[in-house]
């Protein structure tokens, strides 16, 4: 990063609480002007992503402008450009942070020493729990509705969410001990897709077009176990 980049980031941080934003109802109230502390910066980043996410879900991605987000989050528009590159970058950060927060504390599949079936069993359940979150379902509906008119939205959603999950699974299936348990005639790149399809089944359709009450954890656990069993019967040696 060159000197110009450092200056831009410093200026953007200082504009997180631009002049006039120190009213009692502002997140900047009570904070001294100037370079913010690391904790303050992290809190403001989280607040910005939360505000942007709520606006996207409430109004639709294409109907939300950076000016609208900046006004609601009490930041400068330039701050969003410098830190996220624009609206697409904001969405990617929202999805990536949400996914990371939900999976915090979960063992890394690439190094988890437990048997394959146990590792995949935990993954299957937490994956179903993740896609069952109301915010995820609302986000998925928004992406489906606007994908054709706003292709960058669909691309950002896929790269920040589904693609990362597939890459995580691909690294797991590439482990020598795991490969030794799988059929050699199944192409490695298909394993993540097969697993996800077996786990999800029609679960996403149930969420997008709800006809009954949301599934509780016991139901999700049963669906995860059934899907994993189907997958292993098809790919295990």
Q: What CATH number is given to the structural domain containing 74?
A: 1.10.10.60
Q: Is residue 90 included in any domain, yes or no?
A: no
Q: Distance (Å, rounded) from C-alpha 74 to C-alpha 18?
A: 8
16, 41 contact by CB (below 8 A): yes
Residues 112, 54 within the same domain:
no
Q: What is the pTM of this model?
A: 0.76
**Crossing angle between the packed helical segments 134-146 and 87-102, to the nearest 10 degrees:** 150
Burial class (CB in 10 A: 0-12, 13-18, 19+), 201: middle
pLDDT above 50 (res 96): yes
Digit-coded pLDDT (tens) for 154-179: 999 999 889 999 999 999 999 999 99
Residues 14, 125 within the same domain:
no
CATH number where 177 lies? 1.10.357.10
Q: Is residue 191 included in any domain, yes or no?
A: yes
Mean pLDDT value across residues 188-215: 85
Which structural domain range is residue 229 located in? 103-235
Beta bridge partners of 182: 236
Domain boundary among 55, 85, 115: 85
């Amino acid at each position: 990063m060159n000197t110009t980049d450092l200056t831009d980031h410093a200026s953007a941080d200082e504009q997180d609480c631009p002049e006039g934003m120190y009213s009692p109802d502002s997140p900047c109230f009570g904070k001294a002007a100037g370079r913010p502390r690391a904790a303050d910066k992290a809190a403001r980043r989280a607040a910005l992503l939360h505000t942007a996410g709520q606006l996207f879900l409430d109004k639709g991605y294409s109907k939300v402008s950076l000016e609208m987000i900046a006004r609601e989050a009490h930041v400068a528009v330039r701050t969003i450009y410098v830190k996220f590159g624009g609206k697409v970058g904001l969405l990617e950060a929202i999805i990536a942070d949400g996914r990371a927060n939900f999976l915090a504390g979960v063992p890394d599949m690439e190094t988890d020493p437990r048997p394959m079936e146990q590792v995949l069993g935990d993954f299957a359940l937490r994956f179903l729990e993740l896609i069952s979150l109301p915010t995820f379902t609302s986000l998925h509906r928004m992406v489906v509705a606007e994908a054709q008119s706003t292709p960058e939205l669909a691309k950002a959603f896929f790269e920040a969410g589904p693609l990362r999950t597939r890459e995580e699974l691909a690294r797991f299936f590439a482990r020598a001990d795991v490969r030794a348990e799988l059929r050699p005639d199944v192409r490695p790149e298909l394993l993540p897709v097969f697993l996800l399809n077996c786990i999800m089944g029609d679960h996403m359709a149930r969420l997008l077009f709800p006809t009954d009450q949301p599934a509780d954890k016991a139901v999700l656990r049963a669906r995860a176990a059934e899907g994993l069993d189907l997958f292993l019967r098809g790919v295990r040696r």
